[in-house]
Structure 1
Amino acid sequence: MTRPTLPSTRIAELYRQRIRDGELAPGDRLPTIRELVDEHGVASATVRSALSWLRVEGYIVTTQRGSFVADTATNTATPRDRLDRIQRSGSVLATGETKQVTAAELIVPPLYVAELFDVDPGSQVVRREYVVGAGAQRLMLAVDWYPASFADSVPDLLSTVPGQRTATHPGGGNDLMQQIERTTGRRVLYGRDSMHARVADHREAGHLGVPVGASILAGAHEWSDDEGVICYGEWCLPQRITIGYEYRV
């Protein structure tokens, strides 16, 4: 993926990443406009544009005292952001995020999942269901699917041990993709995301702590290499959680 080159975009993404990763915590103050101008060697209008996007997306709030990281998360990482974090830090989680694994098993998947992995109907694949949260807030319900053969080389795929990324436990017990790369030699080279709005069913509502029929943003991602699909994931977010991505034309 080609990284954005506009200075305002680079500055905004730098602070998105720091906030998503937990390097900047709720209530932390951002540098002043003058400090950002001096640090990045840009005009004040460029800095103001970057901060405007962070405010629009809910990452920061601005008062007469300056700009601060929002106290309540109103955004979360996209699949691309999470993959980038895995490759940078070895964890799918940001600092302070938790991951409650509610299921980890070898099962016969729905036909469309079997077709994605190019396995015969009736064959098994790994299914992992989990909830990502931050404090008392639930940010995402997700289900990830992996080839059954991975379970032999990465036993943690079938573990439900909870993980939490902290400063002293940076991996958070959630470096499955890095374990897969080390043991199988396969690395994600391609990705595709899709999203749609719908209402929560009973299972999703229970995990996310929202009423049945509440509006949610649902999505799917596929991470693959030249040999085929490494991970196929489906996820949903509660109302008022924002995700975003950048692109060049």
Structure 2
Amino acid sequence: MPPKRRYEEIAAHYRRLIQDGELAPGDYLPSLRKVCDEFDVAMGTANRAFQLLKAENLTVATSEGTAVAHRPDVAVTGAARLKRMERTGQRYGPGETSTDHWRAMRSVADPVIAGLLDVELHDEIVIRRRVHRHEGGPSTFDSSFIHVRALGPVPELLDEGPLERWWQELYKERTGREVTRSPERRTARIISKTEIEALGIDLPPEVAASVLVVVNVFHDEDGPLEVWEDVYPPGAWQVDTE
């Protein structure tokens, strides 16, 4: 991967502050002059960084300066959420929560998920689902498809409601194994009835809508461990802070 240019580095710095909640909606970014002094760059470089943040709908220009935008239609990716958790120790970002938690043992009927988990079609797996919400509105419908071998060290996977800690942290502590993540994948497909209901979308029965799907696959030394799928409502912006 080529090194980031200076304006990209500056934009990434303020993007992280916004995603971590250190800069909340309505807060103002420093003036361009202060950014130039802090990062030792020319005015054009600082301005280009601010233009990038504005293009991502992260900021808005006001008569008093550049402010963090209120973004009910913006959701972070799973990978970005994990990186934020590593930086801050916080499960949720500013204005974010989760509801509609569901878990079960099910036979896997999707050949794509079966392939990613390296199991046979109709083998049993653990499925955990939840709706992430931003400022009260649904931002993503998330599903975790987990290999059954994870149940040995982490039986809490079948507990009701959200876990107090991310289950992979418990798995790593109890097994001593490292868990790695493959590069995040993005695709689009027709939204399902379950996803329509979970995201509260008002869609006529005869109308089909496409949704953005972002997939992360996690592995340990024995192979695939979890497939984490984020589904975004139509019209939502996806933000990746990597």
Same structural fold, with TM-score higher than 0.5 when normalized by the shorter chain: yes
Structure 1 residue 54: Cα displacement? 0.8
Gaps of 5+ in 2: none
The percent identity for this pair of structures is 28
**Which residue in 1 is equivalent to 2:214?**
219
Aligned-residue Cα RMSD (Å) equals 2.5
Gaps of 5+ in 1: 164-172
1:13 and 1:3, CA in 2 relative to 1: closer, same or farther beyond 3 A?
farther
CA distance in 1, matches of 2:8, 2:81: 19
**Which residue in 2 is equivalent to 1:100?**
99
Residue 119 of structure 1 pairs with residue 119 of structure 2: yes
Residue 144 of structure 1 pairs with residue 144 of structure 2: yes
**Which residue in 2 is equivalent to 1:84?**
83
TM-score (norm 2): 0.85
1:246 and 1:28, CA in 2 relative to 1: closer, same or farther beyond 3 A?
closer
Contact 1:90–1:178 at 8 Å: present in 2 too? no
CA distance in 1, matches of 2:2, 2:75: 19
1:7 and 1:159, CA in 2 relative to 1: closer, same or farther beyond 3 A?
farther
1:125 and 1:92, CA in 2 relative to 1: closer, same or farther beyond 3 A?
farther
**Which residue in 2 is equivalent to 1:179?**
170
TM-score (norm 1): 0.83
CA distance in 2, matches of 1:3, 1:24: 28
Structure 1 residue 142: Cα displacement? 1.1
CA distance in 2, matches of 1:82, 1:106: 26
1:225 and 1:149, CA in 2 relative to 1: closer, same or farther beyond 3 A?
closer
Question: Which residue identity lines up with residue 236 of structure 2 in the other structure?
Answer: I
1:199 and 1:108, CA in 2 relative to 1: closer, same or farther beyond 3 A?
closer
Structure 2 matches for 1:151-166, cutoff 5 A? 151-162=151-162
Number of residue pairs matched by the alignment: 237
Contact 2:76–2:240 at 8 Å: present in 1 too? no
Structure 1 residue 3: Cα displacement? 8.6
Question: Which residue identity lines up with residue 225 of structure 2 in the other structure?
Answer: I
1:180 and 1:203, CA in 2 relative to 1: closer, same or farther beyond 3 A?
same
